[in-house]
Amino acid sequence: MDLLYKLETILCPDIPLHYVYNKNTKKWTPRRRNINIISRMYNVNPKDIDKIHLRMLLLHVPGAKTFEELRIVEGELRPIFKEACIKLDLLQNDELIENSLIETTALQMPSPLRVMFTTICAYSNSTHSPALWNRHKNSMMGDFLHQGFAMDQAEDMALQPINTVLIEYGTNCLTIGLP
């Protein structure tokens, strides 16, 4: 049995289903018994962007033996894991986020919409938070506009709770490009 060939076709989480790592020889050997195996990968904090993209590649790129091999896409070595994920179309499309905000705008009041937007900014790895804010800010500050506040005051009032929660997540409005 050609072990190398088979390992090159298996994704990282599936290797323990078929192989056992021998600590003495420091090699993977075929599993002899067919027993139930639970394979797992550790969770990664969504704010640890590099590890998130590494984990994503491990779940989708079969047979990579080094971190460098994970970053090779279409024969070209990408400088960081995120770029490899982008080239492989593994990252969440901002269209999904956009559609979710549109749907929530139609169904919710401004306050829950701001909470959703804050969650998106804190966890989604979206690089388009400022554009999302600009497209949906009127809905997110609608309650303040309805109360008669001027546009700039309403925007400040809507951004204050967003910034407060983002600080709890280790970032803030300015860091992600919001006013």
Q: pLDDT above 70 covers what percent of the chain?
A: 89
Nearest Cα residue to 120 out of 106, 138, 102, 107: 102
Cα–Cα distance for residue pair 91/72, rounded to 1 Å:
16
pTM of the model: 0.54
Q: How confident is the model at residue 46, as a pLDDT?
A: 60
Domain residue ranges of the chain, discontinuous segments joined by +: 3-87, 94-168
Of 53-62, 86-95, 131-140, minimum mean pLDDT range? 86-95
Contact 105, 136 (CB under 8 A): yes
Residue 69: its H or E element = helix 67-70
